[in-house]
Amino acid sequence: MIALKTIFAQIENSMSEKDFIPEAYTTLKEEGTVSYASPSNIALVKYWGKRENQIPANPSISFTLAACVTKTSVQYKKRNQKSNEFSFDLLFEGEAKEEFKPKISTFLKRIETYLPFLKEYHFVINTSNSFPHSSGIASSASGMSALALCFMQMERSFSEFVSDEDFKRKASFLARLGSGSACRSIEGPLVQWGETNSIEGSSNLFGIKYPYAVHNVFNNFHDTILLVDKGEKQVSSTVGHELMYGHPFATQRFDQAHNNLEKLKSVLLEGDLDAFIRVIESEALTLHAMMMTSNPYFILMKPNTLSIINEIWKFREASKTHVCFTLDAGANVHVLYPENEKDVVFPFIKEKLVPFCQNGQYICDRIGLGAKKL
């Protein structure tokens, strides 16, 4: 008999964009409010390079975070007349933010086919982040996933029955259309996105909760985020992804991501932290190597990023702990370490690494369980 898990995996694998177009709704409410808090995530195997319609060029996997979250509420009210334009106000931390509106408009355009009610309403979108806006921490993953979840909550109230499974899958599908990495922020603690042979049920269209056993050593894993440079990003991720087109090492990089995911399977199962470190640090440096070898080329690390990495390597050798680092497309450093080493590692971070942070700023985060309805 085929296991139920395999059948679900086959269904997920065979899903297409069309499966996310809803059937007729039972009722469209006049008005209401929906709210979600959704976390950021930190990729272990990095998504870098995409095709049209937000299809990733390679598979990725991330830890969902707990402390870095975006809270979004959407007030909706039926409009008197249906219009060809979307209608919304955007408030960020209580104040109107015109400069964020184009990104939301693009998102609404991309998801309209899958949520055909959008033009029938006026929305007041109210959003805020738990982390400082100018921290250099990307808010697109938490922001887009929170908004996608709010719209999904609306859709749920217009439909007869939607299972939690279908709800989360479509929320991830929609979030992806806002920002690729956002599709990995709906659930936790580990989410995988992008088709790859070694992970059953993996899809380019949405993230899935990592479907295999994970060793206890990863419970409560810590991520202390060191804010090295809080300035504007020198290169947006959209531009960065495009630079993988015609990149001389693109094919090798995409193959490497598939291989690293496969390697991680046994690493996560066995809790082999030495092997974990080798994959995670290599992924971070490869991401930056791709930027350094693209045309045009960029260096997004700062001198303090390198100082931090060197300090981590020295300390790890001397203390025999398993502290390691990963990076996003910027200068900040995510310092990862297991719960049972925090009493040794955190004092080291405070004493030796925090001095390299801009204004001594850092954020204590850890692996989390995903978005929450408010």
48 vs 117 by CB, closer to ligand DP6: 48
225 vs 345 by CB, closer to ligand DP6: 225
Minimum distance from residue 92 beta carbon to ligand DP6 (Å): 18
Minimum distance from residue 181 beta carbon to ligand DP6 (Å): 3
The interface mask with ligand DP6, positions 228-247, x = CB under 6 A, is ---------xx--x------
8 Å CB contact between 313 and 297: no
- Interaction of residue 65 with ligand DP6, rule CB under 6 A: no
Phi, psi of 12 (to 5 degrees): -60, -45
Minimum distance from residue 176 beta carbon to ligand DP6 (Å): 8
Phi, psi of 141 (to 5 degrees): -65, -50
4: enclosing H helix or E strand: helix 4-13
In 3D, which of 98, 99, 102 has the Cα closest to residue 110?
102
In 3D, which of 38, 104, 68, 306 has the Cα closest to residue 314?
306
- Interaction of residue 71 with ligand DP6, rule CB under 6 A: no
- Interaction of residue 288 with ligand DP6, rule CB under 6 A: no
Q: What's the CA gap between 12 and 8, in Å, rounded?
A: 6
The interface mask with ligand DP6, positions 247-286, x = CB under 6 A, is ----------------------------------------
- Interaction of residue 329 with ligand DP6, rule CB under 6 A: yes
Tokens found for residue 324 = 């390691």
Residue range at the interface with ligand DP6 (CB under 6 A); choices 40-48, 98-106, 291-299, 316-324 = 40-48
- Interaction of residue 47 with ligand DP6, rule CB under 6 A: yes
Which residue among 39, 49, 143, 180 contacts ligand DP6 (CB under 6 A)? 180
12 vs 328 by CB, closer to ligand DP6: 328
Q: What's the distance, Cα to Cα, between the start and end of the chain in Å?
A: 41
Tokens found for residue 217 = 């050593």
Which residue among 43, 66, 152, 171 contacts ligand DP6 (CB under 6 A)? 43
Which residue among 181, 202, 304, 332 contacts ligand DP6 (CB under 6 A)? 181
Determine the Cα angle at 264 with ends 262 and 270, to 5°.
120
- Interaction of residue 140 with ligand DP6, rule CB under 6 A: yes
Range 160-179, binding ligand DP6 (CB under 6 A): 179
61 vs 345 by CB, closer to ligand DP6: 61
Q: What's the CA gap between 110 and 107, in Å, rounded?
A: 5
Q: What's the CA gap between 126 and 147, in Å, rounded?
A: 10
Exposure string of 94-127, with b = 16+ CB inside 10 Å and e = fewer, is eeebeebeeebeebbeebeebbebbbebbbebbb
Range 196-225, binding ligand DP6 (CB under 6 A): none
- The binding site for ligand DP6 (CB under 6 A) comprises 43, 46-48, 54, 60, 138, 140, 179-181, 237-238, 241, 287, 328-329
